[in-house]
Amino acid sequence: MNSKAVYPGSFDPITNGHIDVIKRSLKIVDKVIIAVSSFQRKNFLFTLKERIEMIKETFKGDERIEVDSFDGLLVNYLKKKNLNLIVRGLRAISDFEYEFQMALTNRKLNKEIETIFIMPGEEYFFISSTLVKEIAKLKGQISCFVPSVVEKKLKEKFNY
């Protein structure tokens, strides 16, 4: 069996919550492609290149992880890769409505696509990239929320 899933997101930056979802995904599939969105819906702190580099460094040596980027619709990326499985992390009720809407929209655009939702461990349930960036900007302790490579890059971005 050589099953693959795509875990899409902006990962600005990747957090321990994202990492937990990826590790849990690998209990279900053989390989996870972390697909970093370049779509400028958000004002990113990190460039696409920086986000990809941090993710690659985080998973260095793990052949079950592939890091890629995409622009445009996720369904088009999946079609190009000949894949049909999306992994999404689901933290709270507030996430559910958006994720449910996206899963149904993707399915409408391509009926072959399936989305599986994975909840992170309770120690990561509240973590978001936005929260981590706010804490880092205010020079708070972030080592429990992100891998060391991300902590270093956040400190560089905020000059401390």
Q: Which of 31, 81, 91, 157 is catalytic?
A: 91
CA angle 41, 97, 54 (to 5 degrees): 45
Q: How many CA atoms lie within 13 A of 148 on its CB side?
A: 0
The whole-angstrom separation of Cα 136 and Cα 129 is: 10
- Stretch 125-129: mean pLDDT, rounded? 92
Is 129 noted as a catalytic residue in this protein? yes
For the domain covering 4-157, report its CATH number: 3.40.50.620
Catalytic status, residue 91: yes
Residue spans per domain, the chain: 4-157
Characterise 115 by phi-psi region: left (phi > 0), alpha (psi -120 to 50), beta (else). beta
18 is catalytic: yes
- pLDDT of 42: 67
Respond yes or no: is residue 94 known to be catalytic: no
So what's the pLDDT on residue 102? 94
Q: Which residues pair with 116 in a beta bridge?
A: 87
HEC letters along 35-92: EEECCCCCCCCCCHHHHHHHHHHHCCCCCCEEEEEECCCHHHHHHHHCCCEEEEECCC
Q: Are 149 and 58 in contact (CB under 8 A)?
A: yes
**Per-residue model confidence as pLDDT tens digits over 19-31:** 999 999 999 999 9
